[in-house]
């Protein structure tokens, strides 16, 4: 049976959505599959990838698998290392192992490593068994309620909701947020830079053009905040507001920072978000220990973890390297259920 691997054209959007709905068993189309999001995610110009990024694996009988490639770059001195994440990864039953074959074709076509970030139960059961995927440090998710009463008013207000309100009220008040030191937070301007951290890990390479592309996500209301120390821009945070749940898509301080600096900067960010009228909780995630310690110091509590796997056939990365993983690398910062967007 002939198998074709090719880019999707915008003219086939309806056909593709039909395939995804069948593959995922979707009856009501979620926001991340809307035509507007599909145009941005699959076809809009990307600073690192100007052509379409949606790939199909097909036979004469129809679509066998699909994946949208999101390019990722990691900093390596004055250069960078290419990688990618597959979003909207789905396979039908026309070809056995179609999903893995699509992954392999994408790796071969791009000559790049491939990151798998979380996924469905089937995905999490399958990929660890594949020889060319190796586990990385998990990305852990943390959250803190900011306005428990307003969150309660949006619930069904049953017994369980009241118990959650009492818990969230306690979590809002205790522990108190740490002092902010000389850190301040302001909305970004068009000429502001973005920042890449350094340390005993391989950091994500940030550019303003890439952050601006991510900020244009049609699902979430995204804002870029600049973190200043003694009045000097020293870090940034990309925030996606999903119906009151503020997801920290990225939090980064430039260069090598201390735990105290990370904690003070993040405390400044949480205070800034708490002052926003429409933000009811803050959610953050990272694979880096120092980030997680800063989240915990600011009263965020761990809620879940996302397993990370890396397929690095060409040996781009050192075998025992720790990769910096943040929600902005995939659709994790905007994927949500509109009826229940809150983590707490």
Residue 29 is classified by DSSP as P
**CATH code, domain carrying 27:** 3.40.630.30
* Same domain for 177 and 72: no
Q: What is the mean pLDDT of residues 216-236?
A: 97
Q: What is the mean pLDDT of residues 189-197?
A: 97
Q: Determine the pLDDT at residue 146.
A: 98
* Same domain for 77 and 39: yes
Q: Determine the pLDDT at residue 124.
A: 81
Place of tokens 């405390």: 267
In a domain, 317, yes or no: no
Q: What is the mean pLDDT of residues 83-94?
A: 93
How large a percentage of the chain has pLDDT more than 70?
Answer: 100
In a domain, 311, yes or no: no
What is the rounded CA–CA span in Å between residue 224 and residue 249? 10
In a domain, 106, yes or no: yes
pLDDT tens, 10-34?
999 999 999 999 998 888 888 888 8
* Same domain for 291 and 143: yes
The token duo for 160 is 């369980």
What is the rounded CA–CA span in Å between residue 146 and residue 241? 13
In a domain, 314, yes or no: no
In a domain, 338, yes or no: no
Domain of residue 181: give its range: 139-305+327-333
Provide the pLDDT confidence category of residue 185 given band limits of 50, 70 and 90.
very high
Q: Determine the pLDDT at residue 50.
A: 86
- The total domain count for the chain is 2
Answer whether 142's CB lies under 8 Å from 283's CB.
yes
Q: Determine the pLDDT at residue 339.
A: 85
Position 123 pLDDT exceeds 90: no
Q: Determine the pLDDT at residue 257.
A: 97
Provide the pLDDT confidence category of residue 122 given band limits of 50, 70 and 90.
confident
* Same domain for 160 and 36: no
In a domain, 290, yes or no: yes
* Same domain for 290 and 196: yes
Average pLDDT, the chain: 94
Position 78 pLDDT exceeds 80: yes
* Same domain for 146 and 90: no
Q: Determine the pLDDT at residue 121.
A: 80
Position 319 pLDDT exceeds 90: no
Answer whether 210's CB lies under 8 Å from 290's CB.
no
Q: What is the mean pLDDT of residues 122-129?
A: 84
What is the rounded CA–CA span in Å between residue 204 and residue 249? 13
∠ at Cα 117 (254, 280), nearest 5°? 65
In a domain, 83, yes or no: yes
* Same domain for 108 and 159: no
Q: What is the mean pLDDT of residues 131-142?
A: 95
pLDDT tens, 272-291?
999 999 999 999 999 999 99
Q: Determine the pLDDT at residue 16.
A: 93
Position 243 pLDDT exceeds 90: yes
* Same domain for 277 and 193: yes
In a domain, 133, yes or no: no
Task: Give the orientation angle of helix 289-297 with respect to helix 259-274, to 10 degrees.
Answer: 50
* Same domain for 18 and 79: yes
As a whole number of Å, the CA-based R_g of the chain is 20
| Reported pTM | 0.96
* Same domain for 248 and 209: yes
Position 1 pLDDT exceeds 80: no
Answer whether 286's CB lies under 8 Å from 292's CB.
yes
* Same domain for 167 and 64: no
Q: Within 13 Å and on the Cβ side, how many CA atoms surround 142?
A: 23
* Same domain for 162 and 104: no
Q: What is the mean pLDDT of residues 301-330?
A: 94
């Amino acid at each position: 049976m002939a198998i074709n691997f090719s880019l999707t054209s915008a003219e086939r959007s309806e056909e593709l959505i039909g395939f995804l709905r069948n593959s995922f068993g979707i009856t009501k189309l979620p926001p991340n599959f809307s035509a507007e999001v599909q145009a941005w995610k699959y076809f809009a110009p990307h600073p690192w990838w100007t052509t379409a990024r949606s790939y199909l694996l097909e036979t004469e009988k129809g679509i066998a698998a699909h994946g949208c490639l999101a390019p990722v770059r990691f900093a390596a001195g004055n250069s960078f290392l290419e990688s990618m994440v597959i979003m909207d990864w789905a396979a039908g039953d026309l070809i056995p192992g179609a999903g893995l074959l699509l992954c392999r074709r994408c790796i071969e076509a791009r000559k790049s490593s491939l990151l798998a970030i979380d996924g469905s139960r089937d995905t999490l059961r399958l990929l660890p068994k594949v020889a060319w995927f190796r586990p990385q440090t998990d990305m852990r998710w943390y959250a803190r309620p900011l306005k428990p009463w307003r969150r309660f008013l949006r619930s069904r207000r049953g017994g369980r909701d009241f118990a959650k309100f009492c818990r969230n009220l306690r979590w809002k008040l205790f522990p108190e947020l740490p002092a902010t030191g000389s850190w301040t937070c302001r909305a970004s301007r068009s000429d502001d830079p973005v920042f890449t951290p350094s340390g005993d890990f391989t950091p994500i390479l940030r550019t303003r053009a890439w952050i601006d592309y991510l900020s244009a996500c049609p699902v979430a209301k995204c804002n870029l905040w600049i973190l200043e120390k003694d009045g000097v821009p020293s870090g940034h945070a990309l925030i996606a507001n999903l119906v009151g749940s503020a997801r920290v898509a990225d939090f980064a301080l430039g260069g090598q920072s201390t735990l105290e600096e990370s904690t003070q900067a993040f405390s400044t960010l949480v205070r800034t978000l708490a002052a926003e009228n429409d933000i009811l909780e803050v959610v953050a995630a990272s694979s880096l220990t120092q980030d997680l310690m800063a989240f915990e110091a600011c009263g965020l509590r761990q809620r879940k973890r996302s397993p990370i796997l890396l397929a690095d056939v060409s040996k781009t990365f050192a075998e025992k390297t720790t990769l910096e993983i943040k929600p902005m690398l995939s659709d994790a910062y905007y994927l949500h259920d509109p009826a229940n967007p809150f983590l707490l």
